[in-house]
Chains A and B, each alone.
Chain A
Amino acid sequence: MITLTHYLVLSVILFSIGLVGVMRRKNLLMLFFSTEILLNSVNIGFVAVSHYYGDLSGQLFAFFIIAVAASEIAVGLGLLVLWYKKTGSINLDSLQMMKG
């Protein structure tokens, strides 16, 4: 039997993986992946809790997040392609133009 706890544990595990990815990865593409994992771990949590309480608003919110994530990725990837064309690298450490 799969209970709410299982879903929440999965969500936490995914969130931790995402967080470690955000902190450790230097590749911009990988950073986007990590952000996606973070967002979707939250989605799992939302949907599970919403199902548990029988309240649809949580699932609604998950859809909303998917939409936001998709548009964010669209813009982000566009910028990333441009940046790659300009510098030939997508390493985070090379992104330091604003350093004082």
Chain B
Amino acid sequence: MEQYLYIALFAPLVGSLVAALFAQSSKNIFTGIFTSTLIFISFVSSIILLYYVNANTIVNVEMMDWISAGNLSISFGFVVDQVSVIMMVTVTLVSTVVHVYSIGYMEHDESFNRFFSYLSAFVFSMMILVMSDNFLGLFIGWEGVGLCSWLLIGFWYKKTSASWAANEAFIMNRIADLGMLMGIFLIYWNIGSLQYDIVFASIVNLDIKIVSWIGIFLFIGAMGKSAQFPLHTWLADAMEGPTPVSALIHAATMVTAGVYLIVRAGEIYTLIPNVGMFIASLGAFVAVFAASMALVNRDLKRIIAYSTLSQLGYMFVAAGLGAYWIALFHLMTHAFFKSLLFLGAGNVMHAMNNELDIKKMGGLYKAMRPTAILMGIASVALAGIYPLAGFFSKDKILEVAFNDGSYILWAALFVGAGLTAFYSFRLIMLVFFGDKVHEKFGIVPHEAKPFVIYALTPLALLAIVAGFFEHSFYEFTTQLLADYKFTLDHSVVINLIFATSAIALSGIIFAVYKYIRGGFSEKIENWRIYKLLLNQYYIPKLYEVCIIKPFATLSRFAWLNIDNKIVDASVDMIAKTICSSGEKAREMQSGNLSSMLRWMVVGIIVLLVLAIFYRPMV
């Protein structure tokens, strides 16, 4: 089985490197097909591993020694267990779809080959992240996906806004990575190893305070990658990148790495329920907070990005409360329907000549029926309507919150579910139904190529049926993960399910009803709360005023006064002194015998003086 592990891991790397060879040349359809094929091979290997792995057959390989210095010994080790194989299948499946989709989406882009090189490099980093059997390997993958995310957000680097957004994402992640690194240092310091199994075996012996700090630091890392409050602003801005990137990285895979980390380190978090409670509370807060911003936004991709944020909040609630398999389940189903939603949005964008304002669309159903249906499926799944995938996973999370007795969290998630349903269908209604506003702008919409649509069907299929795998998923993952005990009565559960479905349905119905009749009047745009939401609670502004500007001022001060006037000046002074003294000393070498003789006399006198006054201690 080892060979399948290596194939799954390295096929994307090979694709990336081969595509990179053509990075500077003009568009070559071969790179797209080649990388897609390799990702598909990786997917097939992951599927084989999925069928192979069970409680007794965890594949664990040590490829080679990596760092060995003194007591520190870390190897390139990979593990395929129940958690990582689920991640592998999810990642490679979505990646395959996104690769095929991108052949159509990027066909007019001059940097076609470069795009595929980056995209495959991302998949490789993500595979390292999920397959590593130690925290350091995970960190390498973690940084790798960060790098690829930076490259891909700033893919159209000639656009200032794109490179700005790329830098923002990278810098925010660096801040969080520091926290993660501290967590890893703490683990190594106290346990002396970074291997998962060793760490989890000996973590129980540690002082609870230290475990708490480890948990907190690791969660800071997760917060950055999964864009949790207050490090959330980069995700919405990251939508500057090409849409397939948003679908793959900023919806399905990379942003869920934070959840993966919490699930993977579950044995640490079960020891510290207080930190878990904090994670869950923050998750619930983000779930509502992000959903509320999605309510009023007019940017097609940003709405979906906020929705991703909100769903990540749901996952953190489950992970924080100890229901790791449910977090992982929602991660998987969310990856399917959210990437579908994003890719559909990409089709809409193409049809609209890259227009993103949903108020300028409308009535696209006629022109783009397949896309409309696919996005409809994704939205229903996102809203959590039976029998689509989102229903099963999201409902379970609400049950967990209720079961835990944290009714406040439950209420927040409940409201969040309603908001989710509303904004999803607000988007659908404004884009596909209603008046054809786009005709005013002279845009003639056209459907994407057939193969692009076909590429999306597996995701649509999974968005519909993935929920029914809940039971086998539960049995499979709890072989490794801690089980979560439900103590609720059956009747309570039924009531909860009805309540959640009811609020989701009413959200949908409200949106449909309201937007069929022309939507809200313009007056609400003057409401203070509308402005607050539209400006994202003024948080980006707050960051700019409180952090970016003072920091820029400080940097400018340091540059002009400290660096230029002290550091540079002193270095320059040394150079100038040497230079000018050489310039002056050069005159000694005049070639005139008489002056040379004089210098000789001076030299003799100096030596004499030295011989008299300077006696080295012998």
**Chain A residues close to B by CB (< 8 Å):** 19, 22-23, 26, 92-93, 95-96, 98-100
Contacts and interface: CB of A to CB of B under 8 A. Distances in A.
Q: Which 7 A-B pairs have the closest CB atoms?
A: A99-B591, A96-B591, A92-B594, A23-B598, A92-B593, A98-B591, A22-B597
B598 A92 contact: no
B592 interface: yes
Contact of A96 (B592, B597, B598, B601): B592
A73 to B, nearest CB: 17
A99 B590 contact: yes
Nearest to A97: B591
Contacts of A93: 592, 594
B589 interface: yes
Main secondary structure, interface of A, reads loop
23 contacts: A19-B601, A22-B597, A22-B601, A23-B594, A23-B597, A23-B598, A23-B601, A26-B594, A92-B592, A92-B593, A92-B594, A93-B592, A93-B594, A95-B593, A96-B591, A96-B592, A96-B593, A98-B591, A99-B590, A99-B591, A99-B592, A100-B589, A100-B591
A98 B592 CA distance: 9
A99 B589 CA distance: 8
A23 B601 CA distance: 8
A26 B597 CA distance: 11
A19 to B, nearest CB: 6
A92 B592 CA distance: 8
A23 B594 CA distance: 6
Contacts of A92: 592-594
Interface residues of B, number: 9
A100 B601 CA distance: 23
Nearest to B599: A23
A92 B538 CA distance: 86
Contacts of B591: 96, 98-100
A100 B593 CA distance: 13
Nearest to B598: A23
Contacts of A96: 591-593
Contacts of A99: 590-592
A96 B598 CA distance: 16
Nearest to A93: B592
A100 B590 CA distance: 8
A96 B597 CA distance: 14
B223 to A, nearest CB: 69
Nearest to A26: B594
Contacts of B590: 99
A96 B601 CA distance: 20
Interface string B538-552: 000000000000000
Interface in B577-615: 589-594, 597-598, 601
Given A19-B601, A92-B594, 15 more contacts: A22-B597, A23-B594, A23-B597, A23-B598, A23-B601, A26-B594, A92-B592, A92-B593, A93-B594, A95-B593, A96-B591, A99-B590, A99-B591, A99-B592, A100-B591
B419 to A, nearest CB: 85
B595 to A, nearest CB: 9
A22 B601 CA distance: 9
A41 to B, nearest CB: 14
A100 B316 CA distance: 79
A91 to B, nearest CB: 10
Contacts of A98: 591
Contacts of B597: 22-23
Contacts of B593: 92, 95-96
A96 B591 CA distance: 6
A92 B598 CA distance: 13
Contacts of B594: 23, 26, 92-93
A16 to B, nearest CB: 11
A100 B586 CA distance: 11
Nearest to A25: B594
Interface string B274-288: 000000000000000
B382 to A, nearest CB: 83
Contacts of A22: 597, 601
A96 B592 CA distance: 6
Contacts of A23: 594, 597-598, 601
Contacts of B598: 23
B609 to A, nearest CB: 15
> Could you say which of A23, A26, A96 has the most chain B C-beta atoms within 10 Å of its C-beta?
A23
Contacts of A26: 594
B116 to A, nearest CB: 62
A32 B594 CA distance: 13
Nearest to A95: B593
A22 B594 CA distance: 8
Contacts of A19: 601
A100 B592 CA distance: 11
Nearest to B605: A19
A19 B602 CA distance: 11
B582 to A, nearest CB: 14
A12 to B, nearest CB: 13
Contacts of B589: 100
A19 B604 CA distance: 11
Interface in B296-320: none
A53 to B, nearest CB: 22
Contacts of A95: 593
Contacts of B601: 19, 22-23
Contacts of A100: 589, 591
A23 B598 CA distance: 5
B602 to A, nearest CB: 10
A95 B591 CA distance: 8
A87 to B, nearest CB: 14
Interface string B144-155: 000000000000
A9 B173 CA distance: 85
Nearest to B597: A22
Nearest to B591: A99
Nearest to B590: A99
A92 B593 CA distance: 7
Nearest to A91: B594
Contacts of B592: 92-93, 96, 99
A26 B598 CA distance: 12
A71 to B, nearest CB: 21
B375 to A, nearest CB: 82
Nearest to B596: A92
A98 B594 CA distance: 14
A47 to B, nearest CB: 22
